[in-house]
Each structure stands twice: as C-alpha cells, then as structure tokens.
C-alpha cells in the first residue's frame, strides 16, 4: 500500500512502530470516540506535569518553556511530488524564526493520507499523539473533537498574526469543526480542475474550454485518441481516492451544486438517478485511461501529461505543483487547466491543516508552529511550491506565478465554494469510510448498481 513514488524516503520502521503502537482496533475509532466522554489519561509515560494557563481546561502534558522546547514532531504524507518541496520550505522558514526548536518530521507516505490516517487514529487513541499532523479540517476532525482530543486554540494560536481577520470565513469555519478553533489551515487546494497537455489537445483539434459538461468529455477523449497517439485521460486506480474525487466532480458538473450538497447530507436515494448517471460517466472515462492505471500512483499518472502521453488529467491543483517543478514544461505553452466541465464559478475546496492535540508532547513548540503556519511568511513559502493558494487574504501574489494567481482570482470571484467529499471536509469519517469502500468496489468491478448500493449504505 505504501506508495513508492510518493515517498521512497519514508522509513517503514517508523510507520510500523507507530501503527503497532495501538491496542484498539482502528475501525472502532468512531465508536470509541463517539460518546463525547473524555476518557483520556491526563499523563503520558514519563511526563506527569500538567501545563499551566491552559484556557481549554484540558490536561495537556508538561509545557516546555520558551528557552527549552521539547522536540516538535509533525507527521504528514508529503514525501514526494505532492508536497515534499513545500513542506521543506515551510520548515526552513520555521527554523529561521525558531532555530532553538528541534523538529522531527515523521512522514508516512501514501497519497491523500491513505496510510497516515490510520497511524494518527491509533496514536491519538493511545494518548500518544505527535505534536501536530497533516489533517483535513472540517467534518474530518469531528470524531476527535467529540472525543475531546483537541485543544481550543482560539486564543493561544488564532489571536496571533491577525489570523482571525486575515482568513476567509470558509477556512475559519473549517478550523472550528465543533464550534471552537482546534486547527490551522495552511492552504486551499481546488479540486474541480481539468488539466491538459496543450500540444496534445491542439493536435487533436479539441478546445477544452468548449466542453460544457462532464458527459461531453467522453467525445473529446475519443477525438484525442483518433487524432493523436495519446490516451484521453491520465488516471490512477491503484488506490480508490482519485476516482472518488473524479466522481464527485462529475456529479457536481453534470448535476449541480444542490445535488452534490444533498449527497453530502446523505440524501442518496432521492438522488439515485444523478448518482448512477455520474458513476456511468466515470465508467465511460475508464475506456480512455492509460492502460497501467491500476498499478501506478497519481504522480506517475501525471507524468503522462508531462510526457504528452495523455490529453487530460483530473486532480487537485497539487498536480500543478509537479508541473512547476518540471523544467521546460510551462504553463500556457505546455500545460493548462480549465474548471472541470460544468463547474465554472465553483471552487471545490480541499484544505490541509495542523491540529493541536491534547496530551501534546511539546505544547509551547506546537503553539509556535501553529502560529507560524497561520502567518504570511509560512503561507508565502509553502503554497507556491504546493500548488495551492493561501487561506489568508493578505499574502502577496508575487511568488505564485500565473496559474495560481488565476486560481486566486477564481477563488475570490467564485459564486460557491463546496467542500470536498473525498477529503472529508464535507462528510465525517464514518460515511467517508463507506464511500471509500464503494469506490474500491467501483474501481475493481466497474459495477454501477453495486457501487450505488454501497454508497447508500455508507450513510446508514
């Protein structure tokens, strides 16, 4: 399951060490955490002092003093093309500001957190969390909030750096999954993108901006395959998340925002026709995928765009982070993007954030780190390399280049910002698990009826 392309530098030992740390079954997490009771021990092994002055009223372990910080351990999955350079730039900036804080990045590779999420659940349940970790905000964090595992950082972190004024409402809401600030979003990724190789579509005589709905993309891909040596669409199905994400854009583009939102509210049966139709459209796309889709990662799939072996690619705009790092592959000349057909004016949002867990092994260092993540300096360093835009509205556009500047304008001018399904901003972890299972069924059987039934079950 570990994704070699996305993280050959990750120590498997670290992963096993962390994954093996738990004594409670992972699948039982939601159940264990759902009761709203605390149940958390107030101390961790070898550290029995409680922190003073904690407005959250929790019993976070010992506070490190400003002159003597405990090591800051931050886990994330950015180990390759999807963010290694960005996270490195972030920590370089942090190191410059706080040279005295020792940092232990402890990454766990696997696109979209496919491995890290399991590690974190176990560690948090065992009251042995890292200082912070990469987490999608919003509903994704609800079980942790309900189980009282996250600290209220409305004062300690969000009052710094003018954050409360500089963040837009959407990201602020996502940072408060239970009504209180518990995490700091560092970026905004757009999901409703259709990337393309300019030379391939020109050779095929296809104009991507003229494709007005997802079902029309099928004909465009047929034309590409008739007129060029490229396949219609680069894609990976080794792990189901990219297809879950693709399906959500098809639902949004073909059937509109209301249907999309209704799905996130669990109104599956009432939207049966739209849901099945959008599954069928994705199934039609499948005939135009690269033939090795089942055995590669998304970064490998994206290389087909860079090499001119595919015309189109759907991904979050982290895909553009990869183009940016590629010499001689220029925006406008070699690659470009349109909003996924049928979704113009919508900004489908995904965000990454860093929460503050209770029982924090390094409370002072974590506070400094999260304050830093919320600053202009951090967001200016991190986002251009990540291929995302800053959640702060006062970050200068200078370093962002033409593509991300256009995304920033699109965001500012968007009529609607819908939260991501696949990334758990719009649906909590339990139905999200069911959604993931349904998409695994889909990518292995391509059976629309069976997948629909599983989608329905996901919300039961």
Q: Are 367 and 277 in contact (CB under 8 A)?
A: no
Q: Of 152 and 352, which CB lies nearer to ligand GAL in the complex structure?
A: 352
The reply to whether 350 sits near ligand GAL by the rule CB under 6 A is: yes
d(CA 33, CA 429): 12
Q: Of 425 and 438, which CB lies nearer to ligand GAL in the complex structure?
A: 425
Q: Of 189 and 381, which CB lies nearer to ligand GAL in the complex structure?
A: 189
51, 64, 73, 82: which one binds ligand GAL (CB under 6 A): 82
Give 195's contacts (C-beta < 8 A, 6+ positions apart).
Answer: 305, 312, 313, 314, 315, 319, 320, 323, 335, 336, 337
Q: Which residue is nearest to ligand GAL (CB)?
A: 111
22, 83, 390, 419: which one binds ligand GAL (CB under 6 A): 83
Helix H or strand E segment including 241: helix 241-264
Using the contact rule CB under 6 A, the part of the chain among 88-96, 109-117, 155-163, 391-399 near ligand GAL is: 109-117
In whole angstroms, the minimum distance from the beta carbon of 255 to ligand GAL comes to 24
In whole angstroms, the minimum distance from the beta carbon of 432 to ligand GAL comes to 12
Residue 386 token pair:
């990540």
Site for ligand GAL in 406-425 (CB under 6 A): 423
Site for ligand GAL in 257-316 (CB under 6 A): 316
Per-residue DSSP letters for 297-331? -HHHHHHHHHTTSEEEE---THHHHHHHTSTT--B
Q: Of 189 and 255, which CB lies nearer to ligand GAL in the complex structure?
A: 189
Give the number of C-alpha atoms closer than 13 A to the C-alpha of residue 362, restricted to the C-beta side: 22
The reply to whether 189 sits near ligand GAL by the rule CB under 6 A is: yes
The reply to whether 336 sits near ligand GAL by the rule CB under 6 A is: no
In whole angstroms, the minimum distance from the beta carbon of 120 to ligand GAL comes to 14
342: left (phi over 0), alpha (psi -120 to 50) or beta: left
The reply to whether 352 sits near ligand GAL by the rule CB under 6 A is: yes
Closest CA to 143 of 124, 162, 130, 159: 124
Total chain residues near ligand GAL (CB under 6 A) = 12
22, 111, 177, 232: which one binds ligand GAL (CB under 6 A): 111
29, 112, 116, 425: which one binds ligand GAL (CB under 6 A): 112
Using the contact rule CB under 6 A, the part of the chain among 41-49, 111-119, 209-217, 262-270 near ligand GAL is: 111-119
In whole angstroms, the minimum distance from the beta carbon of 175 to ligand GAL comes to 15
Residue 359 token pair:
């029982």
Report residue 380: phi and psi, to 5°: -75, -35
| CA end-to-end span of the chain | 28
The reply to whether 243 sits near ligand GAL by the rule CB under 6 A is: no
x/- track of binding to ligand GAL for residues 130-169 (CB under 6 A): ----------------------------------------
Using the contact rule CB under 6 A, the part of the chain among 105-113, 225-233, 335-343, 373-381 near ligand GAL is: 105-113
In whole angstroms, the minimum distance from the beta carbon of 276 to ligand GAL comes to 26
In whole angstroms, the minimum distance from the beta carbon of 367 to ligand GAL comes to 23
CA-angle at 23, arms to 22 and 29, nearest 5°: 75
Q: Of 123 and 386, which CB lies nearer to ligand GAL in the complex structure?
A: 386
In whole angstroms, the minimum distance from the beta carbon of 277 to ligand GAL comes to 26
Q: Are 342 and 255 in contact (CB under 8 A)?
A: no
DSSP code for 44: B
Q: Are 311 and 288 in contact (CB under 8 A)?
A: no
Parallel, antiparallel or unpaired: strands 416-419 and 346-355: parallel
Bridge partners of 132, per DSSP, are 74
Helix H or strand E segment including 233: strand 231-234
Residue 279 token pair:
């599954």
Report residue 327: phi and psi, to 5°: -65, 140
Q: Of 259 and 383, which CB lies nearer to ligand GAL in the complex structure?
A: 383
In whole angstroms, the minimum distance from the beta carbon of 83 to ligand GAL comes to 5
**By the criterion CB under 6 A, which residues form the site for ligand GAL?**
78, 82-83, 111-113, 189, 316, 318, 350, 352, 423
């Amino acid at each position: 399951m570990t994704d070699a392309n996305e993280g050959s530098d990750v120590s498997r030992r670290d992963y096993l060490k962390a994954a093996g740390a738990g004594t409670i079954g992972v699948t039982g997490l939601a159940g264990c955490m759902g009761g709203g009771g605390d149940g958390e021990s107030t101390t961790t092994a070898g550290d029995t002092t409680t922190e003073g002055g904690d407005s959250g009223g929790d019993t976070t372990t010992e506070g490190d003093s400003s002159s003597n910080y405990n090591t800051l351990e931050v886990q994330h999955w950015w180990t390759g093309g999807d963010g290694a350079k960005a996270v490195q730039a972030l920590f370089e900036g942090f190191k410059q500001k706080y040279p005295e804080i020792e940092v232990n990045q402890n990454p766990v590779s696997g696109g979209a957190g496919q491995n890290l999420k399991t590690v974190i659940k176990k560690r948090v349940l065992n009251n042995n969390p890292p200082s912070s970790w990469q987490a999608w905000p919003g509903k994704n964090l609800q079980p942790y909030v309900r189980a009282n595992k996250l600290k209220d950082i409305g004062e300690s972190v969000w009052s710094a750096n003018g954050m409360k004024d500089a963040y837009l409402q959407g990201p602020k809401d996502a940072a408060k999954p239970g009504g209180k600030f518990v995490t700091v979003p560092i970026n905004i990724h757009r999901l409703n993108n259709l990337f393309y190789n300019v030379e391939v579509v020109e050779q095929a005589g296809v104009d991507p901006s003229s494709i007005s709905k997802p079902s029309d993309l099928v004909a465009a891909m047929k034309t590409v395959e008739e007129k060029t040596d490229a396949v219609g669409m680069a894609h990976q199905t080794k792990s189901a998340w990219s297809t879950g994400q693709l399906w959500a854009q098809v639902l949004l583009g073909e059937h509109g925002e209301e249907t999309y939102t209704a799905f996130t509210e669990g109104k599956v049966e009432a939207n049966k026709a739209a849901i099945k139709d959008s599954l069928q459209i994705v199934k039609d796309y499948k005939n135009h995928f690269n033939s090795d889709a089942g055995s590669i990662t998304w970064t490998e799939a994206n290389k087909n765009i860079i090499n001119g072996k595919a015309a189109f690619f759907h991904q979050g705009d982290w895909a553009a982070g990869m183009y940016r790092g590629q010499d001689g592959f220029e925006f406008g000349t070699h690659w470009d993007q349109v909003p996924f057909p049928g979704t113009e004016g919508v900004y489908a949002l995904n965000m990454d954030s860093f929460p503050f867990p209770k029982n924090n092994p390094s409370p002072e260092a974590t506070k400094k780190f999260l304050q830093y993540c919320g600053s202009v300096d951090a967001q200016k360093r991190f986002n251009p390399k990540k291929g995302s835009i800053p959640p702060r509205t006062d970050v200068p556009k200078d370093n962002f280049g033409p593509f991300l500047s256009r995304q920033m304008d699109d965001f500012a001018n968007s009529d609607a910002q819908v939260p991501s399904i696949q990334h758990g901003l719009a649906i909590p972890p339990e139905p999200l698990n069911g959604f993931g299972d349904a998409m695994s069924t889909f990518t292995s059987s391509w059976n629309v009826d069976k997948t629909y039934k599983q989608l329905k079950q996901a919300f039961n």
